[in-house]
Amino acid sequence: MTHARTIVLAILGGLGAPAAAAPADGPVIITFDEAETGRPMPSYEAQGVVFAPAHPPAKSRAAGRVMFFPHLKTPRKGILNAMADESIPVEARFPEPATGVTLVLWGSIGSAAVVEAYDADGNVVDRAARDAVPTRAGPEQPIPSFELTVEAPAIASVRFSGAPPGGYLVCDEVRVTPSADAETTIDGEPTEVEAAAGTLREAAEGRLLVGAAVMSRRLDDRGLATLVAEQFNCLTGENEFKPAPIHPQPDRFNFEGADRIVAFAQAHDMEVIGHTLCWHSQSPRWMYQGPDGEPLSRDEALRNLEGHIDAVMGHFKGKVVGWDVVNEAISDAGDDHLRNTLARRAIGHDYIVKAFELAHEADPDAELYYNDYDNEQPEKREKTLRLIRELKAAGVRLDAVGMQCHFRLDEPDAPDLLDRAIAAYAAEGVKVMLTELDVDVLPRRTRGADVVTRERGGADPYRDGLPPEVAEAQARYYARIFEVVRKHPGVVTRVTFWGTHDGASWLNSFPVRGRTNHPLLWDRDLEPKPAFEAVLETLATPGPGPSDPAVPGSHSEAGLPPQP
């Protein structure tokens, strides 16, 4: 707590490239994840690069503005070259000369793609083109992206175009290599940063893991990557380890994004949590369902599940400390114990036991967790205790229960319920992890975190920022949560925040789309909020219990009964 660490920040370069310490004159990577979808703007600036239409429209006023477009099947978001009745090139102007620019693009059927590089006098100095964009393999598959690169001694701007009227061409990443003669880097961020004394990972050192959920593309932002490397000692893949993104077809795996997260974590001395192997929401239907819409036979579904678990855990063996083996299997309906998922209908009630057995066979050294939301609530807590006992009776390895902890500021009893639930789970001989922590400040009608939940017309009172009194109330709420964590050393071994900053939170679109939420410790400008100071202060205060409790990866149970 009293010393500063120097972090050599590993910036992730090209897609799939392993993380490494990037030189100060390396590529600057720009993405558009934080841009507001669907709002036309005269221009948009990111890291000093200005994006704007290359010329005024001839027909449509709307075409004279840039706009952002969400990808249909992935979390990607990009800047749009398309209008109903005309197509205008989008121009990116650089504050310093560049020697190379790569655009990552995707588009509608019938679109071509052209990227032109210009010098300071407006002369075309290089050009790259593609006659037709690639098309996706099926309606449930993401639209594939591709890259076009232009190179010249001093590129002042680039333009991309190619969408026909009524179509679209979208750029969701720009990689810029500054000229060696440029006086500054485009984003002005140094590669080596001095970590401020008093970070979450320092406060938690030796006692528990403190982490964040990330998507690999966000780590391309140097400012965000610096914050993540300074503050956290473990990472969870927000989407890229889930079954559908990582195993979209029976014979095809996509490890690209998950590999990048692992590489970043390894470069910064972090653990990695695999989320998740079996989940009803983001699993490909072929795994448990036939082309006729009927459940597969038990044997065929088990073969599919085994092949998925073997391949994914085998790929990350020795790199991932623990896995959410099954996610959100418990029913929210009062009389039902388990959800009636595709996996359950195909395999049977024991599909959870089978998943844990297969996971342990695939990587005997990995910790195995069951993860769910609302399991601090008394009714769901009792259902979770029943599941724990069933798994233990079956003789499978279960290291911890994951409590997602998607809390709401207007639920004052949640920290007390959390305290009681942790004690109840610990009594069954398992550890507890707070796996998806956030504190929602917006009003809503429903509770829980079922991703299919949607509300319309919810209030959005904090679009212009979080009022100080609400920020302080949120800070006090977070302090209460971490006081509970302090009460259970050796039992609570990890706390993971679901996101890195307010702008990156899923709660901006759940349960009401398009609102401005403020649920995390850093604001949209990566400035710490009062909640950060409250968590840091509480976390840094030693709690009762053993002074050296186990953390994931230690393979010490800190006084808990041995696992089968």
Tokens for 249, please give them.
């077809």
Q: What is the DSSP letter of 563?
A: P
The residues, ordered by sequence, that sit 6+ positions from 240 with a Cβ below 8 Å of its Cβ are 215, 216, 246, 257, 258, 261
User: Residue 267: enclosing H or E segment and its boundaries?
Assistant: helix 256-267
What is the CA 52 to chain-centroid distance, rounded?
29
Contacts from 464-472 at CB under 8 Å and sequence distance 24+? 466/441, 466/518, 466/523, 466/529, 470/409, 470/441, 470/518, 471/518, 471/529, 471/530, 471/531, 472/530
The residues, ordered by sequence, that sit 6+ positions from 121 with a Cβ below 8 Å of its Cβ are none
CA–CA separation, 168 and 147 (whole Å) = 16
328 classed as catalytic: yes
Active-site residue, selected from the candidate residues 116, 328, 367, 376 = 328
CA–CA separation, 230 and 223 (whole Å) = 11
CA–CA separation, 263 and 270 (whole Å) = 10
Q: What is the DSSP letter of 155?
A: E
User: Residue 147: enclosing H or E segment and its boundaries?
Assistant: strand 146-161
Amino acid at 320: V
Beta-strand pair 68-70/49-53: unpaired
Beta-strand pair 492-497/431-440: parallel
CB count within 10 Å of CB 562 equals 6
Active-site residue, selected from the candidate residues 202, 271, 367, 436 = 436
436 classed as catalytic: yes
CB count within 10 Å of CB 435 equals 28
Torsion of CA 509, 41, 460, 447, to 10 degrees: 0
**Beta pairing partners, 113:** 130
Nearest to 412 by CA among 327, 329, 473, 488: 473
Beta-strand pair 49-53/44-46: antiparallel
Question: Phi and psi (nearest 5°) for 93?
Answer: -105, 130
Any alpha helices (H) in 316-362, and if so which ranges?
A: 342-347, 351-362
Quote the longest CA-to-CA distance of the chain: 75
Catalytic residue set: 328, 436
